[in-house]
Structure 1
């Protein structure tokens, strides 16, 4: 099954222009057809990493679908004159897929963060979506020497969806490296979503999201994120200085 996805290239990174509803339908069709899809929920920090590190960009381009998770991505597409339909956040996409998954009795595996948080997240999701089967979960604290064992244990359970939350620099590269061996129809990195789902962190109120300052709300809860957040002004400056080239498909943007 092939469907042409409308895309906008932001500094060479191809973002889906689909809204949440179309994205969920597209992924549902692929899951049911058993066609593997690696979804990246990308933000401006990831775009900047791709611009600064060719290997990271190459890794992102190996994914099947990149959705505009960050408000800054939506803003950049707009400034470049080729807007996306709406912001498609990882945590909302996860919930929407599990809503659909109830009628299909999809099997789900959760990987990443601490054991305490992943257990709480699994319990919370199972209560919210009782017809979805959470077949397993594991914390994200394992080294490369344990990769094969972790991958084999997940593959054996044959989940339909795998949600991964590991460090920003390791999450997507790990998925790209092991996706074939995992054999899971849908694999998606979800960043800090399990922190919110477990109740450890609060999601920004809707009015804060609409003001596009969710990053500030999160920073106040996690001050250790400050070094990463300092990339955001650099991204905004780059967009403003290169408005005419933001959405052009230039490989060496």
Structure 2
């Protein structure tokens, strides 16, 4: 697929050339359930302002964002930006929640799931908790995220052999989406999705922001209070807001 949102079977808003889905959570889950049923590989990005700013600095990252099969508005800053340019999305579709909705669907349908990323300790703890929460899901494999480029073929072969319906990848923003994009065809998984720090929260290492923080789009602040070392990364958020206001209608144009 190209970055042309007209080719997509769902409504989108193009923010700096990235086609964000306007679907709500329910419709997003239905769309991805169909992808699993049809065994058609889909690369899903949970898009946020940090990713959009990274794409502005890198043509390769921009291309990765533009060509994803589905980009959901994960960050509250994206929801705000779409509303600011009068092309609102239905709602914020948080990656953490989308992951759990897909697992809920997989629990009913006996889907196979592969977990890839983070440290072995966090991965094992997250795996154990998810197995308990979703007993109907077949957890067909797991591997930590500490592997090098030369290990890619081995990792891909493991995933191919496991034949999952869902692949959740928890690595850094810098290599999570590029890795999935590079190996999409070889992996051939119906739904491949980067989930960032979700395994940290599931394992109990980090706490998710309380509902009141999420309601007012302040999840980033709660995360910052837990991990002060992320402050430099969080400086991107006000920079993004200033850029959107300054750019006006240019936000809707492709690069």
Is the 8 Å Cα contact of residues 80 and 245 (structure 1) preserved in structure 2?
Answer: no
TM-score, normalised with respect to structure 1: 0.96
Question: Which residue number corresponds to residue 210 of structure 1?
Answer: 215
1:1-253 correspondence runs (5 A): 4-246=9-251, 248=252, 250-252=253-255
Q: Secondary structure at the match of 1:169?
A: helix
- Determine the C-alpha separation between the residues in 1 that align with 2:241 and 2:153: 40
In 1: Cα distance, 2:196 partner to 2:249 partner: 31
How many Å apart are 1:243 and its aligned residue? 2.6
1:3 Cα shift?
Answer: 6.6
- Give the Cα separation in 2 of the matches to 1:157 and 1:4: 29
Alpha-carbon shift at residue 62 of structure 1 (Å): 2.2
Q: Report the Cα distance in structure 1 between the residues aligned to 2:60 and 2:237, rounded to whole angstroms.
A: 21
Distance 1:93 1:182, change over 3 A: same
Distance across 2 between alignment mates of 1:179 and 1:242: 33
Residues in 2 aligned to 1:137 and 1:221: alpha-carbon distance in whole angstroms:
27
Separation in 2 of the partners of 1:31 and 1:131?
16
Structure 1 portions without partners, runs of 5+: none
Q: Is the 8 A contact 2:17 2:66 kept in 1?
A: no
Residues 39, 186 of structure 1: 8 Å contact kept: yes
Q: Distance in 1 between matches of 2:146 and 2:109?
A: 31
Unaligned runs of 5+ in 2: 1-6
Q: For this pair of structures, how many residues does the alignment match?
A: 249
Distance 2:68 2:216 in 1: 30
8 Å Cα contact 1:45-1:231 kept in structure 2: yes
Return the alpha-carbon distance in structure 1 between the equivalents of residues 10 and 227 of structure 2.
35
Q: Counterparts of 1:128 and 1:7 in 2: how far apart (Å)?
A: 33
Q: TM-score, normalised by structure 2?
A: 0.95
- 1:177-215 Cα offsets, whole Å, 9 max, x none, are 111111111100001111111111001011111121110
**35-44 or 218-227, larger mean C-alpha shift:** 218-227
Shift of 1:251: 2.0
Deviation at 1:245, TM superposition (A): 2.6
On the 8 A contact 2:116/2:143 being kept in 1, the answer is yes
